[in-house]
Homo-oligomer: A and B are copies of this chain.
Amino acid sequence: MHVVVPFDAREPKTRLSPVLDSNERREFARVMLETVCTAIAKTGHEPTVLSTADLDAEWPVRVDDQPLSDAVNAVLADRDGAVAVVMADLALATPEALDRVFEADGEVVFVAGRGGGTNVVLARHPDFRVDYHGVSIRDHRERAADIGTETTAIDSFRLATDVDEPTDLVEVLLHGEGETAGWLRDHAVSVTVSGGRATVERSE
């Protein structure tokens, strides 16, 4: 199985700007990428980073500056056999959670992200293609139906949690097992409760 991790090497995670400045967001995105790739490697698969620009990384890098869906579809068109696409901001990813996906039966296996995204796809059908625009999990189910295949859904909070907004950092701080939670603590980001809801604050 070929496992790719799409990564925005230019201006990642802009929605975290209330908490992290531009350089910090870039560094934090790299830490999350490391967490995801390390978790994939521990399942016994080598991750390939599908990057929008050149990247110095310890994993193989394929550079493609096309929009996300086009870049992923180019990989799907290039490869024979199973391809898994794992988002780079799944800071709670663990080998155990990923193994539940990689070992699942089915020609198209999904993990939905919160808000209708598609955080992990495992495509074993040669005609499956992605479109990450909008409520992608719904579109992906339709595309799978169009090519005559059933989909398998994996029920994982860890993999459903992509980190886009400050409140997502709450989940990283509460449940993170990799370096990502440590990076946040080192940068004085912590969980607080405001108006009965958990959010993050920065004490600097």
| A contacts, CB < 8 Å to B | 94, 96-97, 111-112, 114-116, 134-135, 137-138, 153, 155-160, 167, 170-171, 174-175, 191, 193, 197-198
Given A135-B174, A135-B193, A193-B134, decide whether A115 and B167 contact each other with a Cβ distance below 8 A: yes
Q: How far is the CB of A25 from chain B (nearest CB, A)?
A: 17
Identify 28 residue pairs between A and B in the complex whose beta-carbon atoms are under 8 Å apart, listed by A's number: A94-B155, A96-B155, A97-B155, A111-B157, A112-B175, A114-B114, A114-B157, A114-B171, A115-B171, A115-B198, A116-B170, A116-B174, A116-B198, A134-B193, A135-B174, A135-B191, A135-B193, A135-B198, A138-B174, A155-B156, A155-B157, A155-B158, A156-B156, A156-B157, A157-B157, A157-B159, A157-B160, A160-B160
Q: Which residues of B contact A138 (CB under 8 A)?
A: 174, 191
What are the 3 A-B residue pairs with the smallest beta carbon separation, nearest first?
A: A157-B160, A116-B198, A115-B198
Chain B neighbourhood of A156, CB < 8 A: 155-157
Most buried by B among A135, A137, A156, A157: A157
Q: A157 — nearest CB in chain B belongs to which residue?
A: B160
A161 to B85, CA, bound (A): 24
By a CB distance below 8 angstroms, the chain B residues around A159 are: 157
Task: Give min CB distance, A154 to chain B, whole Å.
Answer: 9
With A and B bound together, what is the CA distance between A176 and B143 in angstroms?
Answer: 20
Chain B contacts of A116 at CB under 8 A? 170, 174, 191, 198
What is the CB-to-nearest-CB distance from A200 to chain B, in angstroms, rounded to a whole number? 11
- Report Cα–Cα, A117/B33, bound state, in Å: 27
A157 and B97 CA atoms in complex are apart in Å by: 12
Taking CB atoms, residues of chain B closer than 8 Å to A158 are 155
